[in-house]
Amino acid sequence: MKRLHLTFGVLVVLVFLLTGQYMDFQDPKVRELTDEGTRMMFRSRHIYVLLAGLVNLGVGVYFTSHGARWRKTMQIAGSILILLAPLLMTAAFFYEPTLKGLQRTFTQPAIVALFAGVFLHLFSGIRQAGELRGHAKRHEGT
């Protein structure tokens, strides 16, 4: 999982760079759009792609697989949600700015997926008080 998050995170950051180029080279360029709402939608979705990529990189850097089955299950579920979010964010970048109003067809589920995924990883790593005391006692002598 560690390598998957790191690799995917790097790829998503590359997608972020490409969506930036897309905004600069499309006709009309996003910065030249007179419709503030559409311009805001492109830019915010562009930043959300970066957010999802950075979350994947962060999880990849610190990922350690836990031994307990319930912890592993929470980690896998969290990782699936975190890996899904950039796909939804990329779809949001291309789809949502064309919609009337400020609809969040893909963005809202992506943000919820990131939130839930990060918290599943958090909860999988929380140790009980007894585990912490035992861990601290083992390392006091070193």
Give the CA count within 13 Å in the CB-facing half-sphere of 35.
12
Its domain, for residue 28, covers 2-140
pLDDT in tens, 132-141: 555 556 666 5
Q: Is 35 left (phi over 0), alpha (psi -120 to 50) or beta?
A: beta
Q: What is the pTM of this model?
A: 0.84
Number of domains in the chain: 1
- Judged by DSSP in three states, 57 sits in helix
Weakest-pLDDT range from 17-31, 40-54, 86-100: 17-31
pLDDT in tens, 92-133: 999 998 887 777 899 999 999 999 999 999 999 887 545 655
Q: For residues 2 and 7, what is the distance between their CA atoms, to the nearest angstrom?
A: 9
